[in-house]
Amino acid sequence: MHRSGAVMAWNVFKFCTALRGLGSIMILLVLGVVGVSYYAVVLCNYFPALISGGLDSLVALVVLLLFHGLLVMLLWSYFSVVLTDPGGVPLNWKPVVDEENGDADLLDGSEFSQLAGEPTNLGVRYCRKCNQLKPPRCHHCSVCGRCILKMDHHCVWVVNCVGALNYKYFLLFLFYTFLETTLVTLSLLSHFIMFFTDEEIPGSPSSLATTFLAFVLNLAFALSVFGFLIMHISLVAGNTTTIEAYEKQTTPKWRFDLGRKKNFEQVFGMDKHYWFIPTYSEEDIRRMPALQGLEYPSKPESDGLEF
């Protein structure tokens, strides 16, 4: 029995190591899909139409402007997710307790060691792998090897955990990826249909093959990303993460649900001018401790996060 447990732990370790090794490959794959799409839409089809003149030139101009605008936002959001730390637990973090109720300094001295053996004490959890207390909504990521604040999931596509500090960027990446892939699919649809007609298709064999591949790839991504986008919109509306989705189903009233407006503002910030760009206003940055989930509520009935 002990040997079986050791084998399982070793398999999990190898799996996590493999996920770490996918890093540069997944980034290159994303950039590869972007490159194929760019070659098919801009170089093979719409830039030649732009310089040809006439009505086709006007259509090409609109498509190229939308394509490049969405591409900039997609790549900005993508690398913001990749390069932004999702949020780790500060060294020697302890929950803020209610001194009026006589709960102050409950985690000092011997109580800390007792808590390590009793994770449910006072509602505070303890990570045995990191040997530290865990704030609310914090989970340990086996791939990153540390606890992540308000962890949603570890995403191989962005080679990073999605947590408190980059969840907005991840959602914007999904949003702009859906818009961009939908645009590419629609702009190449007429060219794709030509493959199944008797019409003569202009272009070299390589450009035709690239156009066909770009259409199929972008259609597949548009459909799959749409599903993920709808799922995460519902999670944001209920102030829930992917990990917490099951816990929410087993709870009569989800303790972090503050209403759709405040739930949305917790992820995207209070300033409307920053909602659709992967950054926060200075005012929202000052509210980051609450966003990260570091403020531990003192009473169960008020157990929620406030901006």
Cβ–Cβ < 8 Å for 291, 307: yes
Active site residue 147: no
What does residue 200 show for φ and ψ, rounded to 5 degrees? -80, 130
Which residue in 138, 141, 147, 155 is the catalytic one? Answer: 155
Helix (H, G, I), strand (E, B) or coil at 100: helix
Measured CA distances, 138 to 8, 72, 176, 267 (Å): 25, 32, 28, 16
Cα–Cα dist 68/162, whole Å: 26
Residues 6+ apart with CB under 8 A from 97: 103, 104, 105, 106, 107, 296, 298
Own/partner long-range contacts of 268-274 (Cβ < 8 Å, ≥24 apart) = 268/168, 269/168, 270/307
Phi, psi of 126 (to 5 degrees): -130, 130
DSSP 158: T
Catalytic residues: 155
